[in-house]
Structure 1
């Protein structure tokens, strides 16, 4: 019994010492991993496609007779150039597809992004201006555009690290072609005199607009862009000088040097909306 009592006493005195030697480590607090923001600084290139349109009707074709629009012309239905055409004018804008490629560079400053972009697009749009005489005959002028290039600056704000809203503007160039056709007896046929076509278009203009671009991955972005483009006014015209267009009713040689000009003025302007896919070399 004495041995058991001594053993229990020794155990009681040694237990606190053993407990003092035990070290308890508290678990580490979880570390939050912040998402890495994707940068916008760098070169990019890509493709775009969409449509070109203008909801507004173009200016009507103008008619100018050197001898006076209201001067009586013998035998002409309506009595004069003005009377022969009256208010029989029509104009329209032919919408079409636009698509091409772009290259640009952006530089990010905190939540702001500035940069420059060059693009070139194939397209097929036209302005048609028609007049109709009571001969009856039609006189159609067409100004068409089959490609467009722009050089623009752009500036935007990051709504989120991956979404950019921006405005853009710069110069635009597109070669506007002019053509004229008619079925007037004073122009077609053996007795008619050919039309003299003079093409004068500005071709240079400007583009302004804006858009939204979203990064799908670190290097791939998708966006939509709206632009208004104005290539300036045209000075294209067609001169007719046979029959009533020189103030007489006789086809053939122009004996008195008079003429009637059909003019196609007004700005060649339109709107475009495109979807854009870009690869970024960040």
Structure 2
């Protein structure tokens, strides 16, 4: 019995010392995961676009003949004295479409980038004038090729599925002029200048894109484009127009018909599909 009590007393005295030597490990602190900035729209992309272009009528203006001796002969019935023409103009709306390549960089929800596109167009305008001779004078201007180099600034939303953006930059147009005339005297000839221009201007607009898949996006884009002004000249000789062999000796240089415009501007709305690398 004494041995049992002695063993119990020894155990009681040594347990606190043993317990003091036990080290309790604290649980590790929770790891903080750093969420990277979204890069859903970043990268190079290529694609196609197609749509419709339209503009205002009467952009090309025909100036009166520079032949004072013929003004009366070319004044339409009922027109004011000194008038040479009864003129009207039309803008030829049409197809616009081509290809594009661009690059975007995303910082948070902000997307900045640049895009180059080249499009074939079926756009143009014409001015028609009618004289009492009678004759019809038509100057046509056609935009065959349109290229733009633009910056883009956009905002991504809905978990990077949508992108709304504004855009603007420089525009280049390959513009052809054509002149035609009806009811010319058989002895008359026409020479023209300014038949083709390479015009530079500007373009501004905006659009929206939607990610269809990780690599494919679809969008709609509106652009206003202004290619500046143009000048065109047609010189008519022979018959009633003067010049060599002409009936009007007071006009030895022939009759000049000029066309010009303040601005060749138009609007385009296009659907776009892009593949993003």
- Shorter-chain TM-score: which interval? 0.7 to 0.9
Corresponding residue for residue 76 of structure 1: 73
Secondary structure of 1:174's counterpart equals strand
Q: State the match for 2:11 in structure 1.
A: none
Unaligned runs of 5+ in 2: 1-34
The question of 1:235 aligning with 2:231 is answered yes
1:220 aligns with 2:216: yes
Render the CA deviation track for 1:25-68: whole Å, top value 9, x for unaligned.
xxxxxxxxx9x966111000111110111144424322241x4x
Alpha-carbon spacing, 1:131–1:78, altered in 2? closer, same or farther (3 Å): closer
Number of equivalent positions: 238
2:71 and 2:84 in contact (8 A); partners too: no
CA distance in 2, matches of 1:269, 1:181: 23
Task: Give the RMSD, CA atoms, in angstroms.
Answer: 3.0
| DSSP 3-state at the match of 1:40 | coil
Match of 1:54 in 2: 55
Alignment of 1:232-271 (within 5 A): 232-246=228-242, 250-251=246-247, 256-257=252-253, 259-271=255-267
Q: How far apart are 1:254 and its partner, in Å?
A: 8.4
Distance in structure 2 (CA, Å) of the matches to 1:146 and 1:278: 24
For 1:180 and 1:82, the matched residues in 2 are separated by 26
Residues 136 and 74 of structure 1: CA distance in aligned 2, closer, same or farther (over 3 Å):
closer
Q: After TM superposition, give the deviation of residue 74 of structure 1 in Å.
A: 9.5
2:145 matched to 1:147?
A: yes
* Selected match of 1:208 from 204, 209, 212: 204
Residue 159 of structure 2 corresponds to residue 177 of structure 1: no
Q: Give the direction of change, closer, same or farther, for the CA distance of 1:153–1:76 in structure 2 (3 Å limit).
A: same
Asked if structure 1 preserves the Cα contact closer than 8 Å seen for 2:237 and 2:246, the reply is no
Alignment of 1:1-282 (within 5 A): 39-65=40-66, 67=67, 71-73=68-70, 76=73, 78=75, 86-160=84-158, 161-186=160-185, 189=186, 191-192=187-188, 194-199=189-194, 201=197, 203-246=199-242, 250-251=246-247, 256-257=252-253, 259-281=255-277
> Which whole-Å CA distance do the structure 1 matches of 2:215 and 2:127 have between them?
47
Q: CA deviation at 1:143?
A: 0.6
How far 1:174 moved relative to its partner?
1.5
Change (3 A) 1:250 1:237: closer
Preserved contact between residue 51 and residue 95 of structure 1 (Cα < 8 Å): yes
Secondary structure, in 3 states, of the residue corresponding to 1:76? Answer: helix
In the superposition, the TM-score normalised over structure 1's length comes to: 0.75
